[in-house]
Amino acid sequence: MARSIAQEFTKGLWDEIPPFRLVLGLCPVLAVTKTVENGWGMGLATTFVLVCSNVLVSLLRKAIPAKVRIACFIIIIATFVTVVELAMQAYAYPLFLKLGIFIPLIVVNCIVLGRAEAFASKNNLVRSTLDGLGIGVGFTLALSALGAVRELLGTGMLTFYETPIQIFGPSYQPFTIMVEAPGAYVGLGLMLCIMNMLGKK
């Protein structure tokens, strides 16, 4: 099934949106989506790594020997993850404190390795870049959406740029469970359910 160039990008936004359709990369999805801000911070970091690693893997796909391709992909991915980690420490330290260990853990995020192995190593530069961008943006949207739902239900407010905005008013009794670990599963399950209902033919 051949896709047009534009479809390589848009497939990541709905048809193959990572945590919901592919159900991949659940570790950051469940762990960091306590707030919208954490969600999109993590999403942007992953997008950067995805695009860069897809570009490089696609460019080097003829030079990398098949038997050591996974090792090569991991080196490439780990390099970009470290770049992100250092950049975040230098320019967005509060976000780095909140995301903590989950930034280095992007290395073992199966979405990134999965796109390198399943897509970028078999496709040309343009398609691989768009694929990385599409999947990355989809991942960011998914994390932000889940973060928004959890933060809204769990605390009654949404935080943007360190300023909390009260949405439900002071009389709202928060579902504290939504910002705890079980809330991540409940939130993800509900969103999967809604997406499947919408996508039903």
Partner 1 sequence: MREMIQMVVVLTILSCISGGLLASIKNGTKEQIEYQQLVFVKGPAIRAILEGSSNDPITDRFKLKDGDIERSFFSGAFDGKVNTVTFETFGKGYGGDIGVMVGVNLEDDKIVGVGVTTHSETPGIGALAKTNVAFSAQFKGMPLKDTFKVKTDGGQVDALSGATITSRGVGVALTEAVKIYESLKPQIADQLKTFSK
For the segment 117-156, give every residue that binds partner 1 (CB under 8 A). Answer: none
Shortest Å, Cβ 112 to partner 1: 16
Contact indicator for 29, 142 with CB cutoff of 8 Å: yes
Shortest Å, Cβ 92 to partner 1: 9
Shortest Å, Cβ 41 to partner 1: 15
CA–CA separation, 87 and 67 (whole Å): 33
When asked if residue 97 is in the footprint of partner 1 (CB under 8 A), the reply is yes
Give the residue, chosen from 23, 59, 93, 160, that forms a contact with partner 1 under the rule CB under 8 A: 93
CA–CA separation, 92 and 112 (whole Å): 23
When asked if residue 78 is in the footprint of partner 1 (CB under 8 A), the reply is yes
Sign of CA dihedral 91, 78, 62, 58: negative
CA–CA separation, 61 and 43 (whole Å): 26
Shortest Å, Cβ 76 to partner 1: 7
Residue closest to 22 by CA, chosen among 154, 143, 152, 139:
139
Shortest Å, Cβ 90 to partner 1: 4
Identify the helix (H) or strand (E) that includes residue 110: helix 110-115
Size of the site for partner 1 (CB under 8 A): 21
| From 32-40, 89-97, 129-137, 160-168, span contacting partner 1 (CB under 8 A) | 89-97
Region of residue 169 (phi > 0: left; psi between -120 and 50: alpha; otherwise: beta):
left
Binding site for partner 1 (CB under 8 A): 63-65, 67-68, 71-72, 75-76, 78-79, 82-83, 86-87, 89-91, 93-94, 97
